[in-house]
């Protein structure tokens, strides 16, 4: 297990992060949840034993049950608090009232206290805004988060599912006001869904923001269970067809991954995860499971090294189609790129 700095912070996190959306059995994510305390304890133990030091949850997962189970698992297993990095998120609806959602100071102050109580912790290592809130000014959100950092309730802050321009705006506000800055973005990224490479990845690398990847197997599509000719009525995708994927392009990638997996004695899922682990912008890949064998297979991806030739084949089959302004930037930028390459020689 390798450990990477989270963005430009001094915090090191394991290249795989244990996701806990499967913990609990309530709410809008019930279709992919269902694990009780003992089943969740087993997954946490397996993750820690494998060297994973990073656990991600959210207040909306199973309506708070995921946070509760996560915190209890740490106690049941006797895991020292300073040996694990705990991340959670807030923004989604946690009640019926108009202020029971969003990234307002009101909601965040209430929710951080509720999350700490559920997890039986005195601080959260990474507190993330779980989506874009068009109703709250960025300044209000950042001032509230900075206050939580100053009070010691939160160590680092991040976001999930934000556009590149909104993250850049937030970073500028943080610098202008001297506030805590976002350390990370949690976003969807797979070999079957590389959209964030257009704007978000260049921004992350330019500004030193870490990337945590959610749904790295595209909702199970890249697990090895699915093919063009296979049964589409079984598995998670049959009951929760998310995230959206261009399935023909995905199947093209799966065909190439199958050949690489067979040659390496690995699984398709391991190749999909290994591809992500080879991407420079990625700090940690979030893996979730319902069974210990699924988690063990995911962890096995850390031992899969892809050759330059294999990476080239995967790049060719999964690359994004050209889109403006990317193709124009490349065209106009080649003159300066040639100068830089000449200098390096």
Q: What is the dihedral of CA 53, 59, 62, 67, to 10 degrees?
A: 40
Query: Which residues, other chains included, contact 209 with Cβ-Cβ below 8 Å and sequence gap of 6+?
Result: 7, 8, 167, 171, 182, 183, 184, 185, 203
Quote the CA–CA distance of 281 and 199 in Å, as a whole number. 12
Residue whose tokens read 């990476």:
311
Cis ω for the linkage preceding 273 (within 30 of 0) = no
Whether 324 is catalytic is no
Beta carbons of 249 and 222 less than 8 angstroms apart: no
* 154-160 and 3-5 beta bridge pairing: unpaired
Burial label for 206, CB within 10 Å (0-12, 13-18, 19+), is: exposed
**Residue 229 burial class via C-beta count within 10 angstroms: exposed 0-12, middle 13-18, buried 19 and up:** exposed
Q: For the chain, state the CA radius of gyration.
A: 20
> Which listed residue (61, 127, 188, 189) is catalytic?
61
Please, what is the Cα angle at 260 between 256 and 265, to 5 degrees?
Answer: 145
**Would you say 66 and 33 are in contact if contact means Cβ atoms under 8 Å apart?**
yes
Active site residues: 61
């Amino acid at each position: 297990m390798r450990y990477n700095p989270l963005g430009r912070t001094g915090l090191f996190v394991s290249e795989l992060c244990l996701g806990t959306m499967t913990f609990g059995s309530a709410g809008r994510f019930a279709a992919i949840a269902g694990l009780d305390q003992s089943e969740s304890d087993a997954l946490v133990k397996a993750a820690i034993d494998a060297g994973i030091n990073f656990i991600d949850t959210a207040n909306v997962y199973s309506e708070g049950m995921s946070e509760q189970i996560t915190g209890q698992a740490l106690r049941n297993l006797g895991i020292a608090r300073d040996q694990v990095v705990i991340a959670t998120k807030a923004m989604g609806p946690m009640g019926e009232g108009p202020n029971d959602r969003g990234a307002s100071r009101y909601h965040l102050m209430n929710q951080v206290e509720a999350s700490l109580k559920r997890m039986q912790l005195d601080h959260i290592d990474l507190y993330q805004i779980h989506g874009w809130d068009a109703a709250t000014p960025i300044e209000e959100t950042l001032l509230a988060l900075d206050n939580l950092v100053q009070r010691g309730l939160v160590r680092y802050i991040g976001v999930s599912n934000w556009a590149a321009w909104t993250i850049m705006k937030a970073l500028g506000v943080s610098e202008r006001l001297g506030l805590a800055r976002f350390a990370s973005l949690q976003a969807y990224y797979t070999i079957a869904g590389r959209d964030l490479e257009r704007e978000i990845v260049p921004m992350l690398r330019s500004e030193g923001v870490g990337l945590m990847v959610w749904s790295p197997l595209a909702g199970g599509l890249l697990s090895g269970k699915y093919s063009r000719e296979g049964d589409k009525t079984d598995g998670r995708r049959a009951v929760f067809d998310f995230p959206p994927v261009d399935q023909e392009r995905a199947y093209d990638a799966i065909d190439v991954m199958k050949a690489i997996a067979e040659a390496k004695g690995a699984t398709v899922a391991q190749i999909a995860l290994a591809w992500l682990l080879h991407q420079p912008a990625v700090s940690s890949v979030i893996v979730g499971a319902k069974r210990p064998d699924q988690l063990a297979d995911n962890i096995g991806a850390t031992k899969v090294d892809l050759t330059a030739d294999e990476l080239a084949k995967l790049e060719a089959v999964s690359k994004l189609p050209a889109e403006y302004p990317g193709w124009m930037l490349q065209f106009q930028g080649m003159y300066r790129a040639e100068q830089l390459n000449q200098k390096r020689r």
